[in-house]
A and B are shown apart, each in its own frame.
Chain A
Amino acid sequence: MGEMSRAVHEPPTFLRRYVFSTDHKVIGIQYLITAMFMAIAGGGLVALMRMQLAWPGTKWAWLGRIFPDGMESGVMKPEFYLSLMTMHGTIMVFFVVSLGLLGGFGNFLIPLQIGARDMAFPVLNMLSYWTIVPACLVMLGSFWVEGGAAAAGWTAYPPLSAVRTALPGSQWGQTLWILGMALFIASFTMGGLNYVTTIFDQRTKGMSMMRMPLTIWTMFIASAIGLLAFPPLLAAAVLLLFDRHGGTSFFLPSGLYFGNQLLPNSGGTPLLWQHLFWFLGHPEVYVLILPALGITLDLLPVFTRKPLFGYRLTVYCLYAIAALSMIVWGHHMYVSGMSPYVGEFFAIGTLAITVPSTIIGVNMIASLWGGTLRFPTPMLFVIGAIVFFGTGGFGGIFLGNATSDIQLHDTYFVVGHFHLMIGGVTLMAMFAGVYYWFPKMFGRMMSERLGKVHFWLTFPAFYAIFLAMHYQGLAGMPRRYYAFDKYEYLQWLQGSHLHVSLAAFLLFGAQFLFLYNFFRSVFRGRKAADNPWNAATLEWSSPTPAPHGNWGEHLPEVHRWPYDYSVPGATGDCTPQTTPASVAPVTF
């Protein structure tokens, strides 16, 4: 029924077409731009933090005027630093990378790459976006409530987050944080259910699971583990709210003593929250990184002009990673007071993840072998993602290992490690994706020259910052410190903070180049051809930019896997998925 009419009728009004649109492409772009906006916010927060770490206690009069509470008379207060740190983590993890990769690319690409006209539930999809907008506003707005934004870390460990007198940010900021997270989880659930249903039920004829591009595979697996892991966190967040405002003690033991007062709570324990948080928190990092790996793997064949190495194995490895990711959350808690026997189980399980991850890494590098490498901007960022995945992944061997984690837990080693992985790999893949699919979105190309400059500034700066943090962590530098001037054993690292901060400012500044390139190219970019990269995946078989309903009267039919490049006996070095076997041999 609806299919044909949807293909033909575009919504008539501006509001229905661009604001309250049910078109997956518009929603995807809305998500992407929201993520970019939040990234600037999250990056701005960290720029302030790096100013404090580079020049501790310096007076910035102009900042004092912007943040009259947090930076009274221009000097940053510790509570403001903690709020910045907490909100930087929360925003970047949930509102930038999740939003950009799953919300942005997921929405934009899933129907296009599996040959559907839209998501299974377009209205729900729209609702998912319009739930995330208030979530963003609540998170950002929490800086202006009494006590400032939440400051107990993105992990929100109680009692710090549960007792309202424990910290200024634990007054209303923490409540708004929980509210924002609940909205986020609601939005994620709507989106995730939609993605999984769409990928199961809406694939076009011939698009078997094993013919899906890895982007779709990773979106599918990431949505699935997100859907399985977020609900328990929602339960825990509800209970945390009750602990804060209802007088319950789910996460609060007896004998708590705050501000010369004995609290009446009894029976709970903070360990319980840690377990539930990381039960989501660990799968969440795979929710973030898997789509990034998918995009990276997907773009490689386009710019090497040869098929991907080890597609089938990669899919199996993704399944293995997803399954393992659900049972290793305890490696965030080795020294938390958790049972040491459980710790041993978690250590062995965690290190097992290195095996499928290595296979994926090897497949990436091996995919280059024998190809004809070309380096437009997306490919540069793909290489960047591979480098970060390799270097960052190795850090996991130290941290997943319970014994070395005794020394490295909660030091900058951890900060360096997870930034390379869920910050670096994802950022690189998102940039690669934006440069690559920009023509599909807007019918124009982004500037190559600005793109190249953007890469050559972003990649080395990012690498330098987070590599340095690994070494700072080895030196025993604890994370979440407002200043490092109180400890003698950290004095010799004082200079490195300045270097890291300078690189961070460079990194932050370079992103404005990207923003300029993006928004300029929307209007002024060179017009793109229908298939500008000469790629084989299904999305390029629709006109560029794709119209409402994606394809004309007939949905495309798929005859082969998505990586048929340089097929012997075919005309040209790219054989699109829609090419029947009678025209070019099917090789996979």
Chain B
Amino acid sequence: MPYKTYWVTWFLLLIVTVGMLAAGSGSLTGRLLLGLLLAAMVVKIGLIGGNFMHLRSEKRSLILIVALGILLVGLALFAGIAPDALRVLKLSGHS
């Protein structure tokens, strides 16, 4: 990859970060803000993983192992425990 790619990536990352800060301090709230921030986070991850870590030029099998390994397991964990977080909140007598 040419050096230019790295610095273009760097610039994009900066823009997204500034955008996230602006969105956070702006008038947006609730689910929309959450969705935007998470989407921006995914974009940043894609930029770093794809361009800085050269994942884009690796073989697809490696990409799948790395990306699915972390994402699926992490999501499975969170999906499994999140309902109980709400249940604990409900049964702890706070709401």
User: Is there contact, CB below 8 Å, between A275 and B88?
Assistant: no
Q: A228-B69, A253-B92 are in contact. Are A279 and B77 (CB under 8 A)?
A: yes
Interfacial residues of chain B within 1-19, with CB under 8 A of chain A in the complex: none
Distance in angstroms between the alpha carbons of A327 and B91 in the assembled complex: 25
- Which of B69, B84, B92 meets A275, CB within 8 Å? B84
Does B80 lie at the interface of the complex (its beta carbon under 8 Å from any beta carbon of A)?
A: yes
Which residues in window 329-353 of A have CB below 8 A to B? 329-330, 337-339, 341-342
Nearest residue, chain B, Cβ from A267: B92
Output the nearest chain A residue to B62 by Cβ-Cβ distance: A200
- Chain B: interface residue total (CB-CB under 8 A): 13
B81 cross-chain contacts in A, Cβ below 8 A: 272, 275-276
Contact of A326 among B76, B83, B92 (CB under 8 A): B76
Question: For this complex, into which size category does the number of interface residues on chain A fall?
Answer: 10 to 19
B80 contacts which of A253, A269, A327 (Cβ < 8 Å)?
A327
Known contacts A253-B92, A269-B88, A271-B88: does B73 contact A341 (CB below 8 Å)?
Answer: no
A232 CB–B CB distance under 8 Å: yes
Considering the chains assembled together, what is the distance between the CA atoms of A326 and B73 in angstroms?
Answer: 8
| A434 to B87 Cα, complex, angstroms | 49
CB-based contact B80/A339 at 8 Å: no
B40 to chain A, nearest CB (A): 25
- How far does the Cβ of B22 sit from chain A's closest Cβ, in whole Å? 31
Residues in B whose Cβ lies below 8 Å from that of A228: 69, 73
8 Å CB interface, A233-272 against B: 253, 269, 271-272
Across-interface contacts of A330 in B (CB, < 8 A): 80
Which residue, of B69, B73, B83, B91, has the highest number of chain A Cβ atoms within 10 A? B73
Contacts of B88 in A (CB 8 A): 269, 271
Does the CB pair A327–B84 fall under 8 Å? no
Q: Which residue of B lies closest to A196 (CB)?
A: B65
A339–B92 touching, CB < 8 Å: no
Contacts of A341 in B (CB 8 A): 83
**A-facing mask of B12-33, CB < 8 A → 1, else 0?**
0000000000000000000000
B80 adjacent to A342 (CB under 8 Å):
yes
Question: Which positions in B face A, CB cutoff 8 Å?
Answer: 69, 73, 76-77, 80-81, 83-84, 86-88, 91-92
17 further A-B pairs in the complex, CB-CB below 8 A; given A232-B77, A329-B80, A341-B83: A228-B69, A228-B73, A229-B73, A269-B92, A271-B84, A271-B88, A272-B81, A272-B84, A275-B80, A275-B81, A276-B77, A279-B80, A326-B73, A337-B87, A337-B91, A339-B86, A342-B80
18 contacts between A and B (CB under 8 A): A229-B73, A253-B92, A269-B92, A271-B84, A271-B88, A272-B84, A276-B77, A326-B73, A326-B76, A329-B80, A330-B80, A337-B87, A337-B91, A338-B84, A338-B87, A339-B83, A339-B86, A341-B83
